[in-house]
Chain A
Amino acid sequence: KNQVEQSPQSLIILEGKNCTLQCNYTVSPFSNLRWYKQDTGRGPVSLTIMTFSENTKSNGRYTATLDADTKQSSLHITASQLSDSASYICVVSRFTGTASKLTFGTGTRLQVTL
């Protein structure tokens, strides 16, 4: 069964601290893995996309890693800011031959506090 599991479910950190979010998946055949940020009341916004051959990709203070062998990914946030408070969703894409199909994780809800 195609599944994406994320941990932790929620996280509270102090402003300025770093944090790492985890994603494990069992999606096959793998096409790419995406991390999205979803602010409350808004649609998800793409942070990074990684294909099978990429094991790390950065977008500002966000760095995603991918281990396609163990089917694990992480999203590292450096020097967190209050505006980082959001849900972070791991999404794995598989290509069915006619279209891409996305499997969404349930997200990690991050709260950055003073």
Chain B
Amino acid sequence: SAVISQKPSRDICQRGTSLTIQCQVDSQVTMMFWYRQQPGQSLTLIATANQGSEATYESGFVIDKFPISRPNLTFSTLTVSNMSPEDSSIYLCSVERAGAPSSYNEQFFGPGTRLTVL
């Protein structure tokens, strides 16, 4: 398994400001993922972060709005920039590990960061 921690666990921010969310994993992983879960909605992938390369963003998400850093194999940050109330959501960090049998990879999620933008 994988133990994932996120900071902060929750925050209330003003419109127009930025918030950086940290994700720490207890062991090295190649790929880290950032998801958004809006109220009452399913999880939506924002981007995939590989160490040593630019993050890959999903349709509808751009680097200027959600810059990501991946300085090493156990840590990543997601910044929500120039926030608006529509950014109020839970942001989750996730990692993938080879499962058993090896025909699939298992995905583990952090506890999430609950963001409220006023």
A interface residues with partner B (beta carbon < 8 Å): 4, 31-32, 34, 36, 41-46, 49, 51, 89, 93, 99-102, 104-107
Contact = CB atoms under 8 A, between A and B. Distances in A.
Q: How large is the interface on B (under 10, 10 to 19, 20 to 34, 35 or more residues)?
A: 20 to 34
B108 A46 contact: yes
The dominant DSSP class at the A interface is strand
A104 B103 contact: no
Contacts of A105: 42
A51 B103 contact: yes
Q: Is the interface of B mostly helix, strand, loop or mixed?
A: strand
A46 B107 contact: yes
A45 B42 contact: no
A38 to B, nearest CB: 8
A34 B37 CA distance: 18
Interface of B: 4, 31, 40-45, 48, 92, 94, 96, 99, 101, 103-112, 114
Contact of B109 (A45, A101, A106): A45
B11 to A, nearest CB: 14
Given A105-B42, A106-B41, A106-B42, A43 B104 contact: no
Nearest to A36: B109
Contact of A49 (B41, B42, B92, B99): B99
Contact of B104 (A45, A51, A99): A51
A100 B98 CA distance: 12
